[in-house]
Chain A
């Protein structure tokens, strides 16, 4: 593997074992245990899921564009929004956040040759793919796909109220992707704890890696609970148990407790990786270190810890939970999130902010996440939750949040894509994509906030002929079309830029180790490593004399090392 001597700063290796052996082409993709190949499989699969879930959303918005619309039947509508939510949460955002980029970037950021358990990693991907196919195959069975909402509340999800194989395929698919997530969590935790390069101490790890560590720990705490719950649900459906049915002495609300004990940490399992991506992007494109690096890490840990104690804020209106406890716990999450927001802003402060597509996406994330975060505070207050629960206000709130996450994810693809593929994407198309995505998101969500305040419930396929409701729904539909155009622009950009703009090893003047190696990185990632003396080893190597400084210290005073000649 790679060693580091000190000094000289750079050690070169010419070992043959860096050369890749084995199959090529399609067989390579099928049999590889290389984290970069698996990560690419994750990326492509999850983007396909994004397009499938997005097309469901466009049908949903088309149906809602007029009252009493009959574009799709009520039965089809229930399947559509169930599968839209399921595909987006389970099959796109999660696997993208902790499967795709984490797989590719985390080992390189910590100077590791691969994940700790490469074969387990491959198993994770194949479980994810088969789980996705299983869940989506519900559309091809009698009775159609699952139609009980992505939360599958018991007793609606039992075999009496939802007979049919679609629901079983949904449960099976989710079990498989759940195991995939758990294995990825194991793998990431082990990799980050055991495979760091010499010099890469915990407090020199990039924020993205730190966030993935906390995410992985949350996965290990939350996903097994979901898996257990799904098995119970399946037993209720087929083996005559009565865990969630009143008739046999069961408790329907138990499902909600189990589901949200997974479901709320899941929100942060999706969000923390994107927070990490945005942190890296903002720091690099401001040409400054992450402001409050350690504060950022403690904020992430705090969010992770609090997220395990807030699940019942999804259940305020059940009348079965202790309101003040879950209210204050949920409100408190605003504090570490606020710290992150201000750290991001101060990172840009007095920087040199470069408006690349990746940076624009990160800025779009900041604003959209601000909106989603602030409206989330309302929902942490039980009286305001009683008022808006299960209306379009909630739909608007979490779409602000997840669309912000989508912007961060897109920014990450523009930022790290060149490292993975060796080629840049077209910036002009990228910026058009950003504006459609950003403006479309606001045009899409703001009318939904008002619709919720005016009393429109969620998950209704038809609504009464109410002129003001229709106007707002039409505006939201226009926003959804804009978002659809932005996705089309992304695909067009990939085709248009195909192998057109060679990226070089370090196109953005990056800070972290992945920008020190080639694009794409070689098998086992590195021919050589720089000295790791901060969380920005590549920057330190490229800009001697410009290390991070504490407040009041001149940067130059802290560094004595001469620039290393090449």
Chain B
């Protein structure tokens, strides 16, 4: 038969006032560091900002929708930082202010309905606000406006094929040679995304956008690039051995450069051959093994 042990209070460190004051000062000093760093970072000219708000590591990007996604990102992040810092402050305050000082039993309060109600309603309102902002940006992003240019993007293990229908232009590239998707600036470009084998991720960092290339599914979306430049793209969905090497580039050029590029790359024989290759899955597109990452 056992005995229920009456509770022995745990040993506490010496309760000297000076010790505690010193410790308290150290806590305050430590707590001041990150706050000071943040304030300094806010005042620093080197912190990238847009519309007076820090970019928080993201970038507005090169398309119209990447700008709205970026605005949404900024809004979410400002909210997240406010909620995050407030909650962290409450946690730190509770544990510092109410750290164990003796052996008394605190008041055993368990319910406070108005308080509980408050912190149920406020998150609901925040969530509805975030959802509304999400809907606005999402509807812009998934809209299918009238387009002048269409590019068929086909992903395969392990490369990309960009077909310009009606132009006799096909660009194919594999792990050893990244293909380049050329598109005109300030023009709605319609993308038809497919996959020949497994699932791939069509991700262009500068466009703040990704979409799966799924076998048997045609995914369609529209880009409207606003900045000239060459941007990196990569497969983001694990697709087998050389997933790490499945890069491509997107080159946004002026309208006249685009027409010139189309003309100089038109090759009907090659286009027909490449089109056939897609239909036969990957049989005719055998990836060359890259030198790095031996298997």
- Contact: B241 with A517, CB < 8 Å? no
Which residue from B107, B115, B239 sits with its C-beta under 8 Å from A350?
B107
- Give the docked Cα–Cα distance between A293 and B112 (Å): 11
Q: Which of A292, A391, A460 contacts B243 (CB 8 A)?
A: A460
Chain A residue nearest to B84 (CB atoms) is: A374
Q: Which of B91-99, B161-169, B254-262 lies at the interface?
A: B91-99
Interface residue? A221 (CB, 8 A): no
A12 and B106 CA atoms in complex are apart in Å by 31
Distance from B199 Cβ to chain A, minimum over Cβ atoms (Å): 6
- Indicate if the CB atoms of B236 and A390 lie closer than 8 Å: yes
Q: How far is the CA of A188 from the CA of B112 in the complex (A)?
A: 32
A349 to B69 alpha-carbon distance, docked (Å): 39
CB pair B115–A346 under 8 Å, yes or no, is: yes
Docked pose: A453 CA to B190 CA in angstroms = 25
Whether the Cβ atoms of A289 and B108 lie closer than 8 Å is yes
List chain B residues, Cβ under 8 A from A46: none
Residue pairs across A and B with CB atoms within 8 Å: the count is 304
Contact present for A517 and B76 (CB under 8 Å): no
Inter-chain contact B112/A339, CB cutoff 8 Å: no
Chain A contacts to B: CB under 8 angstroms: 12, 14, 68, 70, 73-75, 77-78, 148-149, 153, 155-156, 161, 246, 251-253, 286-295, 317-320, 323-324, 327-328, 331-332, 334-335, 338-339, 341-343, 345-346, 348-356, 363, 366-367, 370-371, 374-375, 377-378, 381-384, 386-387, 389-391, 449-450, 453-455, 457-464, 504-506, 509, 516-518, 522, 527-528, 538, 541-543, 546-551, 555, 566
Closest to A10 in B: B4
B264 within 8 A of A: no
Please list 10 pairs of residues, one from A and one from B, whose beta carbons are closer than 8 Å in the complex, sorted by A's number.
A286-B98, A289-B110, A350-B107, A381-B131, A390-B203, A453-B57, A460-B243, A505-B3, A542-B4, A551-B112
In the A-B complex, list the 5 residue pairs whose CB atoms are closest, starting with the nearest: A455-B205, A246-B216, A390-B236, A460-B244, A74-B293
With beta carbons under 8 angstroms apart, the residue of B69, B106, B292, B295 that contacts A387 is B69
Knowing A363-B95, A377-B80, A450-B57, say if A78 contacts B5 (CB, 8 Å).
no
Q: Digit string of B208-240 for contact with A (CB within 8 Å is 1, else 0)? A: 111110111101010000000000101111111
Contact check, B2 vs A348: say whether CB atoms are below 8 A apart. Answer: no
Residue of B nearest to A332 (CB): B127
> Which residues in B have some Cβ–Cβ distance to A below 8 Å?
1-8, 10, 56-58, 65, 68-69, 72-73, 76, 80, 83-84, 87-88, 90-91, 94-95, 98-102, 104-113, 115-116, 119-120, 123-124, 126-127, 130-131, 133-135, 137-138, 141-142, 157, 197-199, 201, 203, 205, 208-212, 214-217, 219, 221, 232, 234-245, 247, 292-295
Is B197 a contact of A551 with CB atoms below 8 Å?
Answer: no
Residue contact B141 to A386, C-beta cutoff 8 Å: yes
Q: Please give, as numbers and ranges, the residues of chain A lying within 8 Å of B219 by CB-CB distance.
A: 318-319
Contact check, B120 vs A323: say whether CB atoms are below 8 A apart: no
Check A293 against B100 for contact (C-beta < 8 Å): no
Partner among B88, B123, B241 whose Cβ is within 8 Å of the Cβ of A370: B88
Query: In the assembled complex, which residues on chain A have CB atoms less than 8 Å from the CB atom of B115?
Result: 346
Q: Which of A14, A292, A387, A450 counts the most B-chain CB atoms under 10 A from its CB?
A: A387
Are B292 and A68 in contact, with the CB atoms below 8 A?
Answer: yes
Among residues of A, the one whose C-beta sits closest to the C-beta of B112 is: A551
Q: Are A367 and B88 in contact (CB under 8 A)?
A: yes
| Bound Cα distance A522, B244 (Å) | 55
CA distance A74 to B133 in the complex (A): 41
Are B242 and A74 closer than 8 Å at their CB atoms?
yes
Name which of B4, B157, B214 has the most chain A CB atoms within 10 A of its CB.
B4
Chain A residues with CB under 8 Å of B108's CB are 288-289, 546-549, 555
Provide the bound-state CA to CA distance between A341 and B119, in Å.
Answer: 10
Q: CA–CA, A506 to B5, complex, Å?
A: 6
